[in-house]
């Protein structure tokens, strides 16, 4: 579809009208829409994977980085996971019109504070086609309309997924325009979308730091402009090193292209000589490159030959690698580790590994991030893992929402006042 065929203003008008209908719908109808999407995904798996193969072939022929392509790839299990997420979200308590506060004033007025949808979300995202379904499902459950603009690299997959969702919600009597997908890869339309404050109540970018920064600088509506993950794991002097090894491998190797993967490892000097050589062997098996500071290089002396261990550059610290690369630094105290995190972290996910309970609690209290972890992997910073069903984003902002944004994080409230003729004197 060409850019001329996409009328962003018309999409905004349609989204607002559909969102009003959706906000007034009942729980059973919205849950029925989610179940219909799940069934549609299961029935449409062949079409989805065919479109995905087309996108991946195009991405590879254009020379796109493999870490970006990894985010795009779907298979039967991943499609089933999207369907399962829809059913998980349907099973969550309905937040729409939840009464947050209920009291009667001295003058007899009945006053309630009630949770309600924000209205219409705009989401600009790159690479990950599962975002199309995750965000659509969360918006449906929370009563929000949504306008989706996916990246050109996954355009065909996203278009198929969006159509499955639209057909499903229409089958239960809700307007298809509750979910809209920008059917063009013209980047000029992103600029138009950022000016649609008349129709879009919250704009969420998901992708590169460049995208997040561009949205923050140009959006005329409120936007969630955090989410870049420069994540640290600190191995304390009192760490169980076997436990630490398992956790660090999970945080770095399991899915290196995600925002909650570990980027920098901080190791206390008293355990560096024992821990880092063992880690280097495991990292070598997994193909992880260690970019080590001078003290870490000294601890790795004798095994660095043949392993992927290189001296760190100054700009390696504070970098979100999104690849099998980890910066490594040796520190003398937990305070030094926390100072490093304060300087280089992005406020996303930070972890300490220690058997010293007091040290763990100090770290959890003092480190400023959307999610802090003791004796576990930063890879857990995820809406599904936190019991939210899915997430529209992981926010590193401090206002409105922080961490994985599930149903309640894309809602607001209003005051409902019921009287019987009272007037204010």
Q: In terms of domains, do 177 and 293 share one? A: no
Give burial (CB, 10 Å; 0-12/13-18/19+) of 179: buried
Token output for 75: 């298979």
Q: In terms of domains, do 267 and 368 share one? A: yes
Angstrom distance (rounded) from CA 264 to CA 425: 63
Q: In terms of domains, do 156 and 293 share one? A: no
Q: In terms of domains, do 355 and 412 share one? A: no
The reported pLDDT for the residue numbered 247 is 98
- Is residue 363 within a helix (H) or strand (E), and if so which, with residue range? helix 357-366
Give me the number of domains the chain comprises: 2
Angstrom distance (rounded) from CA 285 to CA 235: 21
Q: Is residue 398 part of a domain?
A: no
The reported pLDDT for the residue numbered 237 is 98
Q: Is residue 18 part of a domain?
A: yes
CATH number at residue 18: 3.40.605.10
pTM of the full predicted structure? 0.89
Chunked mean pLDDT (size 10), the chain, 425 residues = 69 97 97 98 98 96 88 95 96 97 97 98 94 96 97 96 98 97 94 97 90 92 87 98 98 93 98 96 94 95 74 95 96 98 97 98 97 98 92 88 94 97 94
The reported pLDDT for the residue numbered 169 is 97
Q: Domain span at residue 413?
A: 3-224+405-418
- CA–CA distances in Å: residue 119 to residues 174, 176, 424: 15, 16, 31
Burial 50-85 (b: 16+ CB within 10 A, else e): ebbeebbeebeeeeeeeebbbbbbbeeeebebbbeb
Angstrom distance (rounded) from CA 369 to CA 396: 7
The reported pLDDT for the residue numbered 307 is 67
The reported pLDDT for the residue numbered 5 is 66
Q: Is residue 85 part of a domain?
A: yes
């Amino acid at each position: 579809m060409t850019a001329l065929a996409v009328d962003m203003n018309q999409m905004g008008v349609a989204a607002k009208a559909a969102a009003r209908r959706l906000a007034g719908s009942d729980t059973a109808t919205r849950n029925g829409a989610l179940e219909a999407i799940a069934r549609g995904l299961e029935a449409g798996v062949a079409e989805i994977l065919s479109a995905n193969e087309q996108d991946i072939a195009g991405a590879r022929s254009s020379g796109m980085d493999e870490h970006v392509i990894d985010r795009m790839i779907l298979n039967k299990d991943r499609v089933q996971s999207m369907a399962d997420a829809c059913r998980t979200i349907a099973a969550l308590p309905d937040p729409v019109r939840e009464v947050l506060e209920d009291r009667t004033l001295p003058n007899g007025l009945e006053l309630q504070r009630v949770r309600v949808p924000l209205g219409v979300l705009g989401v600009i995202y790159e690479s990950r086609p599962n975002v199309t379904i995750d965000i659509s499902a969360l918006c449906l459950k929370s009563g929000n309309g949504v306008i989706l603009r996916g990246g050109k690299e996954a355009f065909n997959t996203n278009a198929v997924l969006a159509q499955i969702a639209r057909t499903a919600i229409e089958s239960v009597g809700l307007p298809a325009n509750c979910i809209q997908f920008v059917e063009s890869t013209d980047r000029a339309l992103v600029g138009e979308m950022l000016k649609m404050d008349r129709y879009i109540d919250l704009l969420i970018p998901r992708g590169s730091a460049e995208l997040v920064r561009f949205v923050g600088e140009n959006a005329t509506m409120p936007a969630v402009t955090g989410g870049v993950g420069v994540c640290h794991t600190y191995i304390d002097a009192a760490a169980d090193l076997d436990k630490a090894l398992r956790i660090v491998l999970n945080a770095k190797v399991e899915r290196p292209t995600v925002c909650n993967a570990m980027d920098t490892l901080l190791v206390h000097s008293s355990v560096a000589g024992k821990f880092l050589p063992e880690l280097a062997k495991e990292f070598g098996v997994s193909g992880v490159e260690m970019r080590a500071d001078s003290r870490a290089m000294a601890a790795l002396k004798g095994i660095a030959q043949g392993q992927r261990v290189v001296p760190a550059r100054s700009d390696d610290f504070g970098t979100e690698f999104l690849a099998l690369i980890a910066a490594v630094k040796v520190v003398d105290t937990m305070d030094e580790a926390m100072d490093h995190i304060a300087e280089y972290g992005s406020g996303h996910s930070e972890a300490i590994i220690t058997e010293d309970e007091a040290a763990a609690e100090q770290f959890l209290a003092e480190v400023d991030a959307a999610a802090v972890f003791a004796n576990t992997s930063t890879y857990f910073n995820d809406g599904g893992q936190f019991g939210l069903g899915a997430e529209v984003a992981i926010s590193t902002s401090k206002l409105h929402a922080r961490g994985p944004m599930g149903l309640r994080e894309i809602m607001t409230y209003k005051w409902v006042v019921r009287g019987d003729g009272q007037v204010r004197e």
